[in-house]
Structure 1
Amino acid sequence: MSSKGPLDHYRLPTDVRPRHYNLTIRTDLEKEKFSGFVKIDLDVVETTKVVTFNAAAVLNLGPATLVASSGAELAPVETKFDPGTERATLIFAEELPAGSKATLRVGFWSALTDSMSGYYKSTWEKGIYALTQFEPTDARRALPCWDEPLLKATFSVTLISRNGTVNLSNMPAHPDVAVADKLTESLFEGVKDGSWHVTTFETTPPMSTYLLALANGEFIHLESSYKSPLSGKVRPLRIYATPDVINQAQYALDIKQKALPLYEQAFDIEYPLPKLDTLVANDFDAGAMENWVNMVLFLYYRVVIIGGLQYGQGLITGRTTAYLVDPENADIAAKKRIARTQSHEVAHMWFGNITTMAWWDNLYLNEVPSHVSLQMGEKIILDKIHPEWKVDADFINDHLTAALRLDAKLSSHPIEVEVPDAGQIGQIFDSLSYSKAASVLRMLSKFVGEDKFLKGVSLYLKKHLYSNTVSRNLWEGIGEATGLDIPKIMDNWVSKMGFPVLTVTETSTGIKVRQDRFLEDGQAKPENNKTIWSVPLGLVTASVRGQSLIDNTALLETREAEFKLDTAKPFKINADTNGVYRVLYTPTRLSAIASEAAKPDSIFSLADRIGLVHDAFALGKAGYLELSAALNLVHELRAETEFLVWGSIDSSLSGIIHTWWEDDKVTLPLKAFRGALCSPLVDKLGLEYSKKDSADITQLRTLAVGGAAAVGDPATVKALLERFSKYISGDASAIPVDLLSVTFRTAVEHTGTPAYDAVLKLFENPPTPSIKVAAIQGLTSAVDPALQERTFKLIQSSVRNQDLIYFFRGLSTNPKATNVLREFFENNYDSVRIYTRLEATFSMKYIVQAVYTGFSKEEDRAKAEAFFKDKDISKYNQALAQVLDGISAKAAFIERSTSNVVAWLGSWESKRKLDV
């Protein structure tokens, strides 16, 4: 990009580029501050008198000097700072000639705050430690730098800290102690008398600033190793944590040990570093981060990974819920979360670290291939480690549905989205950059064949090792492996927002399929319906023997087309729900598909049945179908035995109950219907867990109990309250770990203050991360206004910043708290209690969504718009627009479907009474 380009207002000029950073940082945990000095070797690309770099306002800068290639030491004649773009500009009297080199030298200092961004502090039971979170643009909060992914450089890091603490960075430590020079000797004060120590690290490979990682604190580790299937090399693996929780880290270490050799085989590229570390963190904002080379892991809910070259060392960091689990009493949900996180972050060693997107508009090139839970993170990796989890089908509930829900809004955005302003980057870390992109690659893999797809990915990685890439580079690799015109197939999927609904009508020779853009309110106007996608149809038909036949070659490339098949036999579009679209059948055909899906020997797979449920409810909400058609489908599937199908059913029913939360004439019979589905499962499976149970039975039991309790099933509520009473009396075995959340929620909702007090104690001193999460869900389930007020005071006083989102999300699903949550948020928005705590994090957009997502009336949308009218919403304007669109869609849904759903439920209840 030219330094004179149109994006100058947002992007750094490229007339000067960094080549190497020599960084020294002194961390004082006692005084909660850090200071440092950096020497940055520069390449002068174009003749200039100006040097511009990134530095955030929270970072104090000392006087800067520049040593030119001539040896002359230059001081700037003018220094400018723009807090809006977080850029410092140095203007010199002499020109730096093109092709020359120079070294910028500048000192800096700042406080260690609890911002969860930049270089910040995290607390544990014995004090604090320090760690970094630089993605996407927060390296500038810790050091002056060129904070853009394309501007890669090498780093030499020296960390100075108090004795008794451990220093961690991206690379292995040198055995020798760094010697202070005249420029940095003040940083080394106290080293010689033994109260401080120095750690120097090997030079990193060229990498983006957001991958730099630092940490200092009291850490210990567990260690293992794996043997490379490609070279036979044995590499050590570690997981770091504070001493109080290290005993809960073994499972995460085991997953890493199993995943690494599988990735090497899948990509045909050996892991490039001699080791890989993980660090667990108590305070972490985002879900994961792939810092290169050696870093540390800290304790709570987020994750970071680091990798490097053949001479480097890798480190992953993340929240406790992402890495810690009780080794003796682990619930499946926690194990799944840890395995997915670890697998995702290990994949970043190849995607994001070995190859890095050129700019944040191609974020998905970093996140998707590692986050493609089906193709690379789960089906190929986790499916081999935990085949009992059925991760291929689970992907639909976890990722595809989330992607389609968000992309069905006019306020959606393309996967590949322009983000010239670095301040907007945090908004695109969402279900579109992650889950939709993963779903699109999953669809492509099924269309071209998994083996060819992975071959293409391997070609892409090998061709762009340690470089920056854009979309076409990935398409070229897959195109080379398949011989297909991949850009023609894929460009609209990543460059355009939205996805199609395929309308299927039957002809004398088969079916006619038409594609139109799907919107959640069903109102796709001509100006919003211009995109024609290349749609792999995945036709499922029945063989002569009644077995499933799948044609993955059929492709719809026009607005509509006809396809030959025998409609006298069962058929379905979107085999295994691999496609990123909805399918609309006639009511008669949908009924026939439902009848076939309900058969024990159905030609429709587990994934097919999951997709049918999600499609039916989405189409009902958008007005393409009557909602009664979706309820009929669920009723037809009531004998289903698979947990994942029940997961789609229960979440869909929960969603419509929350839509009509203010209308008892709808919610009460809906709850009765949900209870009629869940209660028989509870009766069948019971509340006792056994290690002999399959994963499917274990999860189905948990879901059924949760569903029955949510609608107030008397027998289930009674049983849970009895167990809760025993549990708080000291019998820890009274509540199976898989039922902790539902039991705490039920106890607080139904018994009030005594249960709230007991759960509060568990929140304040949780033995495991799972118990802490369950306690938060319990506290936010209170229906008593006085208890809700206690929860709001707790949020203001003693809740960690990273945990705020869990409280807000919990309250947002509590109908009795919907209005008071909004009132609390709006009354405290401008205080230090909310916005200023989170303005530097990803979390603010999620808080806004949680507060307003429950509303279903246009008047509530108007109230929200009025509240935000005079607010600076630049960091979450997309999330706000999306939640406002959601309110309008639900309002239209209610107006359109209330009479239909009431009539269906009345008919169902009448038949139920007759059956009884």
Structure 2
Amino acid sequence: MGSLLSSAAKDDQYRLPTDIKPTHYNITIKTDLEKLAFHGLIKVDLEVVAETSTITLNMANLSITKVFIISKTSSVEHTLMASFDTLQQRITFKIPKSLPTGSHALLVIRYSGELTGSMLGYYKSAYEVDGETKHYALTHFEPTSARRAFPCWDEPLLKATFAITMISRKGTINLSNMSAISEEPLNSGVNTSPELEEILGPIKDDNWKITKFETTPVMSSYLVALANGEFEYFESSVKMPLSKKILPLRIYATKEHIHQAQFALDAKAAVLPLYEKIFNVEYPLPKLDTLVASDFDASAMENWGLITGKITVFLLDPDSGDLQAKKLVASIQSHEVAHMWFGNITTLEWWTYVHLNEGFATLMGEVIIPDKIWPEWRVNSEFITGHLNRALSLDAKISSHPIEVDIPDPNHVSQPLQYCACCLLTSAKMCSSKVFPVISRSICLETPSRKIFGKAGFPVLTVTEDEKGISIKQDRFMEANNVAEENKTVWNVPLKIVTEKDGQRHVDNTHLLAERTTHVKLDASKSFKLNADTTGVYRVLYTPERLAVIAAEATKENSIFSLEDRLGLVQDSFASAKAGLAKVSGALTLVESWENENEYLVLSGIGDITNLISTFWESPKIVDGLNTFRRTLFVPIVEKLGYDYPSDESHDVRLLRTIAISQAAYAEDKSVVADLQSRFKHYTDTGDDSQIASDLQRVVFTTATKYGGRSEWKNVVELHDRPRTPQEKNAAIFALGATQDEDLIKETLEFIGKKARDQDIVLFFSGLGSNFKARRALTEYFQKNYDILFKRFESNFSLPFLVKLSSEYYSSMKDLELLEEFYQDKDTSKYKLALAQTLDEIRARAGYVTRSLKEIVEWLGKRK
């Protein structure tokens, strides 16, 4: 059970001393869901690596009531004095007599803590039963919050085994990483000890129980998991291909949610055996559970043996046909199962390598494995429109950094996850299908990925033609178009050139651009394209004439260009226009040439027009003109496919209908808007939602609120407060932000402070930020309530998202200056990268508007 990468721990201010090593934790935790508190007794077996008279470990938000150490050499017990470093979240114990090198000791700590709603450490989650608010407790430790549940050496390299005992009220269920080996009523003096009874407090034996779990394998503290509450569960099992063992699987949730948990359980059962087969390493634990949490900061967490996550990523109405929701549940469950091997069996040494941990789980869990089980979903192609494009957009900013970057302070862990997954995918494409699984198991990605991707940013390849072939020049791609300042890097770029050979598609993989420029011999009179299947992490810039030729070829029925080639072409065109490297009219003309397009994924890429509209949101004529153009692309598809979703239709048609209706509605087509409004009215008047396909919930709710008044807004509030599914609640959240009424915008913002759950505030900000009329009000709200929001979210993953979502939509230098002024006197250390990316985005948008406003007006004028 080794670390992901083996290297010596850095002896700096952020790392614990290495003179003491924990080898085993025996942890007993009593959970009191009525008092919302917990008490703990922890015994840690220590190995003394170097003689020491102090013991330093991590602790946060806990109260220690007693601590002593027993040297296993002398059997002498010493009560210890402690000093606490709040900033570093460390506690140091002074030992009366030094512990000699090579000796062993037992550290015993009695402590207590509160179950807060922080969504970190051991915390409370609220739910309602018959109008009564109830609570359960669960953990979320990554990256540095195990110390909030028990004092520990809270660093990934400092692995140990864990024996967990949980004391709780009868009628509740206790969960942890391992299977329970015993559970019985708590009986004072029979299954307790004097030191344990010190932490129990006054209890009645018939009200409490004690659950003991098997000891874990050697593992990192951030992967430990606990939960206690009135859960219900579904269960199944799978036969594992290597061990031939029958592995029990369960998914837990509260009573109100458990009926929607079956698909997540089925998805876990489908993917788990494949991972064991591909990695050729047995799954070492006796079970694998999933707990669906009502309050959860991240999407999900890969605790070994007990995956946890939000209701929105694990629940699916069994009667729902919402394909996107189904794909989300499957991909998240698969992602977390990937971590059972990559992250849990083999673990990162330090948070510097979190990109490999998460990037690999993204690639395996969201692309490779789902593609084997659900090939009709075409996740390989969706990877381009999703992960790749978003990752390149982030990495095109001056604030970008290399994938692997030193992270000395674990409290400021940054996760460039999507970009890393893209790099790993490129590595996979450069290797054979037989070689990559071996590479993935050994993590020998030095060649080719580190040589290709170990630098900040990525290149844009400019292609020019002559009679002998093509010349290719690489420069750093920058959204703000300040290449001259940063154009110092030369990447090793796999070109992968698509050409026509004997009337057939041919891909040449032999060329690697390792210099600033190169020349490739080919027949430029025939069609060609770089970056076959858009697997390389780079953009390509063609001449307008060549772009037109490629576009024409791409529309042919038997084109040599694949679907993935077309996706990359659209994305490169819009990205190059935003960076000032090409004209936006060229990108728009490219889209116009595909006006009769019926491929869902291409139309999804064409959705970049939405981003263009969002950039020019304060130029009404451009917004109206682009919406008119957008209607010509999508309304005919709506008219052809209608609003009904037959159960026997293909996945592609279902997705095509959804995107066409959504885009037509957002483009303000009167007919589509009226139809969606009538469906919403029928639902709220009768309670019958049969006219609203689950795929259309968000656009129906949003349209009704946008074009309605207080009555529709109140109806959406009701749907938010009493949703039938998690997806319906999310749809209601986005819809509340869509209102065009200033008073209702204000009330939506007030709603955030009064009624929104912490985990949902990011969704509220996203919905409001999508509404042009609410943008400035959202910024004002965030800035006015900054201190409150900072305190509320300073330890969570949400804070950086709130910083971005409250202002990244601006498109002028004046707004940039006002934003910089606001943050001038703020401590931005908790969201430094998010703020830098936001400022870069505004700067790029401002340049885009300045350069392209007149050009877009002229292009739109020619279409009339």
- Shorter-chain TM-score range: over 0.9
Distance, in Å, in 1 between the alignment partners of 2:48 and 2:472 is: 58
Q: Does 1:534 align with 2:534?
A: no
For 1:404, give the aligned amino acid: L
| Residue number in structure 1 paired with 2:728 | 771
Contact kept? 1:2, 1:13, Cα under 8 Å: no
Distance, in Å, in 2 between the alignment partners of 1:134 and 1:212 is: 8
For 2:36, give the aligned amino acid: E
Q: Which moved more, 1:43-52 or 1:572-581?
A: 43-52
Distance, in Å, in 2 between the alignment partners of 1:129 and 1:772 is: 21
Equivalences for 1:431-446 in 2 at 5 Å? 432=416, 434-446=417-429
Contact kept? 2:452, 2:493, Cα under 8 Å: no
Equivalences for 1:682-693 in 2 at 5 Å? 682-693=638-649
For 2:350, give the aligned amino acid: W
User: Shift in Å at residue 98 of structure 1?
Assistant: 1.1
Distance, in Å, in 1 between the alignment partners of 2:260 and 2:478 is: 44
SS of equivalent to 2:248? strand
Contact kept? 1:3, 1:14, Cα under 8 Å: no
Contact kept? 2:163, 2:213, Cα under 8 Å: yes
Task: Decide which of 349, 363, 372 is 1:384's aligned counterpart.
Answer: 372
Q: Does 1:102 align with 2:61?
A: no
Task: Decide which of 447, 463, 477 is 1:504's aligned counterpart.
Answer: 463
For 1:174, give the aligned amino acid: I
User: Shift in Å at residue 229 of structure 1?
Assistant: 2.6
User: Shift in Å at residue 193 of structure 1?
Assistant: 2.2
Q: Does 1:351 align with 2:342?
A: yes
For 1:491, give the aligned amino acid: R
Q: 1:188 to 1:91 in 2, by over 3 A?
A: closer
Q: Does 1:647 align with 2:604?
A: yes
Distance, in Å, in 2 between the alignment partners of 1:263 and 1:66 is: 43
User: Shift in Å at residue 508 of structure 1?
Assistant: 2.7
Runs of 5+ consecutive residues of structure 1 not aligned to the other structure: 293-313, 461-472, 476-485, 910-916
Distance, in Å, in 1 between the alignment partners of 2:676 and 2:824 is: 45
| Residue number in structure 2 paired with 1:210 | 222
Q: If the length of structure 1 is used for normalisation, what is the TM-score?
A: 0.91
| Residue number in structure 1 paired with 2:187 | none
Q: If the length of structure 2 is used for normalisation, what is the TM-score?
A: 0.96
User: Shift in Å at residue 709 of structure 1?
Assistant: 0.8
User: Shift in Å at residue 665 of structure 1?
Assistant: 2.4
| Residue number in structure 2 paired with 1:322 | 313
| Residue number in structure 2 paired with 1:519 | 478
| Residue number in structure 1 paired with 2:396 | 408
Task: Decide which of 730, 739, 746 is 2:703's aligned counterpart.
Answer: 746
User: Shift in Å at residue 532 of structure 1?
Assistant: 2.0
Task: Decide which of 181, 187, 193 is 1:174's aligned counterpart.
Answer: 181
| Residue number in structure 2 paired with 1:797 | 754
| Residue number in structure 2 paired with 1:454 | 437
Distance, in Å, in 1 between the alignment partners of 2:266 and 2:487 is: 48
Q: Which moved more, 1:234-243 or 1:335-344?
A: 234-243
Encode CA deviations 1:437-495: one digit per residue, 9 max, x unaligned.
Answer: 1100111111122221112223x1xxxxxxxxxxxx432xxxxxxxxxx43x3224443
SS of equivalent to 2:194? coil
Contact kept? 1:776, 1:806, Cα under 8 Å: yes
Equivalences for 1:147-546 in 2 at 5 Å? 147-175=154-182, 179-189=191-201, 193-292=205-304, 314-372=305-363, 376-425=364-413, 428-429=414-415, 432=416, 434-458=417-441, 460=442, 473-475=443-445, 486-487=446-447, 489-526=448-485, 528-544=486-502, 546=503
Distance, in Å, in 2 between the alignment partners of 1:131 and 1:330 is: 31
Contact kept? 2:59, 2:89, Cα under 8 Å: yes
Q: 1:20 to 1:12 in 2, by over 3 A?
A: same
Encode CA deviations 1:615-665: one digit per residue, 9 max, x unaligned.
Answer: 000000001101111001101112222101100101x10101010101112
Encode CA deviations 1:526-564: one digit per residue, 9 max, x unaligned.
Answer: 5x22222221111111121x2211122321122221222
Distance, in Å, in 2 between the alignment partners of 1:245 and 1:272 is: 30
| Residue number in structure 1 paired with 2:743 | 786
Q: 1:509 to 1:4 in 2, by over 3 A?
A: closer
SS of equivalent to 2:264? helix
SS of equivalent to 1:79? strand
SS of equivalent to 2:300? coil
Contact kept? 1:361, 1:418, Cα under 8 Å: yes
Distance, in Å, in 1 between the alignment partners of 2:299 and 2:9 is: 34
Task: Decide which of 810, 821, 845 is 2:800's aligned counterpart.
Answer: 845
| Residue number in structure 2 paired with 1:585 | 542
Q: 1:648 to 1:5 in 2, by over 3 A?
A: closer
For 2:472, give the aligned amino acid: V
Distance, in Å, in 2 between the alignment partners of 1:644 and 1:68 is: 65
Task: Decide which of 632, 652, 671 is 2:589's aligned counterpart.
Answer: 632
Encode CA deviations 1:405-454: one digit per residue, 9 max, x unaligned.
Answer: 000011112211111012211xx13xx2x111110011111112222111
User: Shift in Å at residue 666 of structure 1?
Assistant: 1.6
User: Shift in Å at residue 190 of structure 1?
Assistant: 5.9
Q: Does 1:572 align with 2:529?
A: yes
Distance, in Å, in 2 between the alignment partners of 1:176 and 1:6 is: 43
Task: Decide which of 76, 90, 101 is 1:87's aligned counterpart.
Answer: 90
| Residue number in structure 2 paired with 1:146 | 153
| Residue number in structure 2 paired with 1:678 | 634
Encode CA deviations 1:367-388: one digit per residue, 9 max, x unaligned.
Answer: 122111xxx2244321122211
Contact kept? 2:41, 2:110, Cα under 8 Å: yes
| Residue number in structure 1 paired with 2:845 | 890
Q: Does 1:47 align with 2:51?
A: yes
Distance, in Å, in 1 between the alignment partners of 2:346 and 2:839 is: 37
For 1:789, give the aligned amino acid: K
Q: 1:512 to 1:349 in 2, by over 3 A?
A: same
For 1:474, give the aligned amino acid: C
User: Shift in Å at residue 3 of structure 1?
Assistant: 14
Distance, in Å, in 1 between the alignment partners of 2:518 and 2:833 is: 36
User: Shift in Å at residue 783 of structure 1?
Assistant: 0.9
SS of equivalent to 2:690? helix
Contact kept? 1:236, 1:275, Cα under 8 Å: yes
User: Shift in Å at residue 5 of structure 1?
Assistant: 8.2
For 1:863, give the aligned amino acid: L
Contact kept? 1:505, 1:513, Cα under 8 Å: yes
Task: Decide which of 607, 612, 621 is 1:656's aligned counterpart.
Answer: 612
| Residue number in structure 2 paired with 1:726 | 682
Contact kept? 2:28, 2:165, Cα under 8 Å: yes
| Residue number in structure 1 paired with 2:14 | 10
Runs of 5+ consecutive residues of structure 2 not aligned to the other structure: 185-189
Q: 1:584 to 1:2 in 2, by over 3 A?
A: closer
SS of equivalent to 2:444? helix
Distance, in Å, in 1 between the alignment partners of 2:581 and 2:541 is: 8
SS of equivalent to 1:94? strand
SS of equivalent to 2:255? coil
Distance, in Å, in 1 between the alignment partners of 2:243 and 2:100 is: 47
SS of equivalent to 2:499? strand
Contact kept? 2:595, 2:632, Cα under 8 Å: no
SS of equivalent to 1:225? strand
Identity of aligned residues (%): 49
Distance, in Å, in 2 between the alignment partners of 1:521 and 1:821 is: 25
For 2:182, give the aligned amino acid: P
| Residue number in structure 2 paired with 1:19 | 23
Q: Which moved more, 1:231-240 or 1:716-725?
A: 231-240
| Residue number in structure 2 paired with 1:307 | none
